[in-house]
Structure 1
Amino acid sequence: MNINTSPSPKMAQRILAENFSGASETLIAPLAETIVRLGRMSAEDAARVEDARNKTQMPFGRTAVRMGLLSKADLQYALGVQLGFLHETNNPVIIPQLLAVANNPYSKTAEQFRSMRTHLLAGRDPKDLNLFAITDADERCGADFIAANLAASFTQLGKRVALVDARLRKPTLGKIFAADASEGVSNFVAGGASVENVVHPTLIKNLDLTPAGVSVADAQTILASQRFSSLLNALRNNYEIVIVLSPAFGESTDVEFVWAAAEKAIIVVRKDHSRVDTLRSIEKAARRSGGLIIGATFTN
């Protein structure tokens, strides 16, 4: 994705006001100051870029990249810090490409996640969204992509969010966030690890990840256990929103145990791929597990 470094002032003001609680009310804080503070560019080079920008009337970030003084990755990171939803660090940072709301916050994809977030919150008690699962209707519908970006979009409202990878057979969230995945769900349930040991910070402010953990032979026993439910309850008591990425429907019966523990679910349906009879089966399975389907979203 190519980041849009020059949104219209009206668009930038609207996005900031409506979607980024950690950002200043305007974009007047120069991007150059953020880039220099983060150690991505010297003050001398920033002055050179500013001189060139005044001649070309191009945005500072785009000018710096064209001059070879700033990488696109550092520009994306500095913009995320300026908007207030990425942690500051002087270490090299590459925002994962799949995190559209952080990688390209002005993109159509990021806007779609903010719209999805708004629809979920509209007319609903926030407590009803305290804990829910996200499930593929069948394999490769993109539930991991949806879960990661929806979680990140909620943090942009200042909410504390926990993301849990319950795909014990095929974990994905640790890779998406390039996070420490050595201890997670399986370590808590089967290994006796503490909640603190299986919750890991991510690059995104207010978003913590509990990965799947070490590989286990019997994922179903883990997900059906009282320890798994107690993990979700502990997270629910400490975060405003807990999102659980479940196994895909039809892949195994694991998903029903996740629904039972999470109580609510959003189904990810792939356009021209997911079958109507599969959706009917999902509805029956949700009722059987005691889970409530609170919504569905489509992917291409």
Structure 2
Amino acid sequence: MNSSAQMLGEQSVADRSIGAIIAETRNLSADQVERILNHQRTQGIRFGEAAVALGFASADDVMFALAQQFHYPYALEEHRKVNAELVALNQPFGVQAESFRAIRSQLMMRVFNDLQPRRAVAVISPDSGDGKTFFAANLAVALAQLGGRTLLVDADLRGPRVHEVFGIDNKVGLSGILSGRAEAQVIRQIQGVPSLFVLPVGATPPNPVELVERPAFGLLIRELVAKFDHVIVDTPAASLGSDAAVIAARCGAALLVSRRNTSRLQAVAAMLADVADSPAVVVGAVINDQ
């Protein structure tokens, strides 16, 4: 390896320069790195710009390198089709991701701070198709991007979907814990987002309400809240049963999601009334356009 390529390698170990990250991501040869460095010097531009100009990298590669340098989780283009719903990870500089960051900021002020008791946030909605899982998954990504340990719990024991969004195995999970049958590691760390963890449902049980009403669920939530900086809990639709209100009560806080031009005001009001009769605090409401 020549001196230029050696220099990039040393920088990669020491401070992960943009050039080192791009070279590693695209598996550039020493000759390609040398050509980029020469173009950079002659044109007086940055390494990333030179790599793009010569066709050895894309603008997306440069953005990925910047995100890596600043420890900001960001998915490369070829990885985005696997988890297309994760807009906060796939398109972190887009309008939708900015909306999730705005909601994150509100939650950090209202829930996840040293002045408030430690609570989990249950994402609730009146009907199926309101976008709870989409919302909960992206909110969890946005919180993890702050660097704090974030756990997304799939407590939709009727129609779980979190494992599909993140592309993880769903053989064991929450239902196994609550029934006393979980033997393997059930909490999964999400690849590419070091601070994000997911607890899937596992086997779909025949008695979902009974499982979340048992003391074991409340004890589990308290344990998870003590171990993680942020805990977000996905829930079933209120139209399917009382699960969501029970889960919100165990979590201590709830965030209501409704869908524009679809959710009925009467259903939203009924759900808010159910939660109001529980120990949970409704910390906000979101209208989903997705």
2:189 is aligned to 201
Q: By how many angstroms is 1:212 displaced?
A: 0.7
1:133 is aligned to 122
Q: Distance in 2 between matches of 1:59 and 1:237?
A: 44
Q: Does 1:115 align with 2:65?
A: no
Q: Distance in 2 between matches of 1:62 and 1:287?
A: 58
Given candidates 164, 174, 178, the residue that maps to 1:175 is 164
- TM-score, with normalisation over the residues of structure 1? 0.76
1:31 is aligned to 18
- Structure 1 residues 125 and 85: CA distance shift in structure 2, 3 A: closer
Give unpaired runs (5+ residues) of structure 1.
1-27
1:101 is aligned to 88
Q: Distance in 2 between matches of 1:232 and 1:210?
A: 12
Q: Distance in 1 between matches of 2:46 and 2:249?
A: 53
Report the count of equivalent residues: 268
Q: Answer whether contact 1:101 1:113 (CA < 8 A) is retained.
A: yes
Instruction: Give the aligned CA root-mean-square deviation in angstroms.
Output: 3.3
1:139-150 to structure 2, matched below 5 A, reads 139-150=128-139
Q: Does 1:250 align with 2:239?
A: yes
Q: Distance in 1 between matches of 2:166 and 2:63?
A: 16
Look up the SS of the partner of 1:197 in the other structure: coil
Q: Distance in 1 between matches of 2:101 and 2:139?
A: 8
- Structure 1 residues 252 and 112: CA distance shift in structure 2, 3 A: same
2:68 is aligned to 81
Q: Distance in 1 between matches of 2:256 and 2:54?
A: 43
1:231 is aligned to 220
Look up the SS of the partner of 1:81 in the other structure: helix
Give unpaired runs (5+ residues) of structure 2.
1-14
- Structure 1 residues 62 and 159: CA distance shift in structure 2, 3 A: farther
Given candidates 187, 190, 211, the residue that maps to 2:176 is 187
Look up the SS of the partner of 2:171 in the other structure: coil
Q: Which amino acid aligns with 1:170?
A: G
Q: By how many angstroms is 1:61 displaced?
A: 7.4
Q: By how many angstroms is 1:211 displaced?
A: 0.4
Q: Distance in 1 between matches of 2:198 and 2:175?
A: 14
Q: Answer whether contact 1:167 1:247 (CA < 8 A) is retained.
A: yes
Look up the SS of the partner of 1:171 in the other structure: coil
Q: By how many angstroms is 1:101 displaced?
A: 2.0
Q: Answer whether contact 1:135 1:268 (CA < 8 A) is retained.
A: yes
Q: Distance in 2 between matches of 1:239 and 1:192?
A: 23
Q: By how many angstroms is 1:77 displaced?
A: 5.3
Q: Which amino acid aligns with 2:173?
A: G
Q: Which amino acid aligns with 2:79?
A: I
- Structure 1 residues 111 and 50: CA distance shift in structure 2, 3 A: farther
Q: By how many angstroms is 1:165 displaced?
A: 0.3
Look up the SS of the partner of 1:119 in the other structure: helix
Q: Distance in 2 between matches of 1:171 and 1:257?
A: 17
Q: Which amino acid aligns with 1:106?
A: F
Q: Answer whether contact 1:65 1:72 (CA < 8 A) is retained.
A: no
